[in-house]
Chain A
Amino acid sequence: MPDVFVSKKSEGKIPKHGHRPAVLDALTPSSRTMSAFCFKPKGIKFETRQKGEKVILLLRRHPVTNAGWVFVAFLLGIVPFFLQSFPIISFLPENFRLVAVMGWYLVIVAFSLENFLTWFFNVYIITDERIIDIDFYNLIYKEVTDANIDKIQDVTYRMGGVIRTIFNYGDVIIQTASEVPNLEALAVPKPALIAGVLQDLRIEEEVEKLEGRIR
């Protein structure tokens, strides 16, 4: 029986070198690992990293979100200077007063250190294969969640409020088809760009599947 329609062989053929993603090409690699938005950072190691897995993005909460605790620490730091004007602990002997002030500053150091560590180590890592959310809660509880890029169903980002608009940060919510239904990257810089990167990675993953290059 004669064929009604025969498609040209070139149609539907995937380019040999794969898809060239727009957002991924536009970004330049960053070496500042203290930054809240690092594109292709070098020297990143994490517990569950697989062989050959490339880190595309390292994200933290925007630095401006630290302003609250920095301000509180500053206020707590200047309290002892007002004790001369408001002698609340004047009933204590001199040596006790000295130890009380030293203890006060120790508590401020602990408060600042804990907040800094929480900011520094609570990261979101986007690799070419997965999204990993590393959370440390109050210094003694750790939670590591990951989801494969090909399991992403939907990416939503939201920005709202004056501060978030000025400093360009917001939340990225990633719905997945894996056991963990939602991954939320909260208060991260450039949420639109992150959503673009995820979109590119999803397309790349699709192309890899079509080409049979699945790892």
Chain B
Amino acid sequence: MNIAPVDIWAVAKVFAIVGLFIYLIFALVVVRQVQLMIDTLEVGFEVPVKYLSYIHLILAIVVLIFAFVVL
């Protein structure tokens, strides 16, 4: 019986991309949660906090795309 050779780095790539995709979902949850926090309490510093959550989301997207391309 002949077993097809498995490329270990291809498996690692799938794991890395799945992990980064889950992280992207987490980043989306953070954006949503920040919005809910701002709805609960407004103290006059909402815009920078909102930008922080969006920057985090953009970073997560960039790293996911980068992993797709590079790995």
Contacts and interface: CB of A to CB of B under 8 A. Distances in A.
Contact of A139 (B23, B29, B56, B66): B29
B63 A44 contact: no
Contact of B43 (A43, A95, A140): A43
A41 B43 contact: yes
Given A33-B45, A44-B43, A139-B33, A106 B9 contact: no
Interface residues of B, number: 32
B42 A46 contact: yes
Interface string B54-71: 001001100100110011
12 contacts: A42-B44, A46-B42, A47-B40, A95-B70, A95-B71, A96-B71, A99-B63, A99-B66, A99-B71, A109-B59, A117-B49, A134-B40
A93 interface: yes
A95 B30 CA distance: 28
Interface of B: 9, 12, 16, 19-20, 23, 26-27, 29-30, 33-34, 36-37, 39-45, 49, 52-53, 56, 59-60, 63, 66-67, 70-71
A34 B30 contact: no
B4 to A, nearest CB: 22
Nearest to B36: A142
A45 interface: yes
A47 B38 CA distance: 10
B25 to A, nearest CB: 12
Interface string A80-105: 00000000000001011011001100
A58 interface: yes
- Summarize A's interface: helix, strand, loop or mixed: mixed
A96 B16 contact: yes
Given A99-B70, A99-B71, A140-B29, 8 more contacts: A33-B45, A44-B41, A98-B70, A99-B66, A99-B67, A103-B23, A121-B37, A121-B40
B42 A113 contact: no
Contact of A103 (B29, B37, B63): B63
B9 A102 contact: no
Given A44-B42, A113-B52, A136 B30 contact: no
Contacts of A144: 40
Contact of A134 (B30, B41, B53): B41
